[in-house]
Amino acid sequence: MLARLGSLARIGARIGAEVGTTRSASSNTSPASPLRRRLLWSLGIGSAASLLVVQPSREDLMVAYLTPVRLARDVACAASIVADYYTSLRPDLQGEAREAALRGCHQRGAQRLLQLCFANGGIYTKLGQHVGQLDHLLPEEYVSTMREHLLDRCPVSPPEEVRRIFLQDLGAPPEALFASFSERPIASASLAQVHEAVDHSGRRLAVKVQHAGLRESCAADVATVAALVATVRWIFPSFDYGWLVDEIRENLPRELNFLHEAANAERCRANLEASARGGAKWARQVHVPSIEYRTTTTRILTMEFIDGAGVTDRAALSRLGVSPRQVSLLVAEAFNDMIFRTGYVHCDPHAANMLVRRAPNGAAQLVLLDHGLYKEITDSFRLEYAGLWRSLIFADADGIRRHSAAMNAGDAYDVFACILTQRPWEQIVDTRSDTSRLAIERSPETRAAAAEFMAQYGREINDLLARMPRPLLLLLKTNDCLRSVDHALGNPVNTFAITARECGAALRREQLRHHPGPLVEARMMALSLLMWYGRMQAVLGWNRGADASGETTAGVGSSTAPHTAEVAAA
Dihedral (CA of 91, 96, 97, 99) sign: positive
Dihedral (CA of 90, 96, 102, 105) sign: negative
* Cβ 547 vs Cβ 553: under 8 Å: yes
Secondary structure of residue 370 in the 3-state scheme: coil
* Residue 454: per-residue pLDDT: 77
Residue closest to 347 by CA, chosen among 220, 470, 519 = 470
Q: Is 169 a catalytic residue?
A: no
CB-based contacts of 535, cutoff 8 Å, min separation 6 = 498, 501
DSSP state of 421: H
* Cβ 201 vs Cβ 215: under 8 Å: no
Catalytic residue (one of 152, 221, 337, 348) = 348
Question: pLDDT per residue over 62-81, tens digit each?
Answer: 667 677 888 889 889 989 99
In whole angstroms, give the CA distance from residue 389 to residue 349. Answer: 20
Residue segments in the chain with a per-residue pLDDT below the cut of 50: 1-32, 47-52, 520, 524, 527, 542-570
Could you please report the per-residue DSSP string of 399-415? HHHHHHHHTT-GGGHHH
* Residue 297: per-residue pLDDT: 98
Q: Beta strand pairing status for 344-346 and 309-310?
A: unpaired
Cα first-last separation, the chain: 73
**Which whole-number Å values give the CA distances from 41 to 45, 49, 53, in the listed order?**
6, 12, 18
All structural domains of the chain, each given as residue ranges with its CATH number in brackets, are: 59-153+221-231 (no CATH), 156-210+257-305 (3.30.200), 379-538 (no CATH)
Three-class SS of 34-59 = HHHHHHHHHHHHHHHHHHHHCCCCHH
Q: Beta strand pairing status for 364-368 and 286-287?
A: parallel
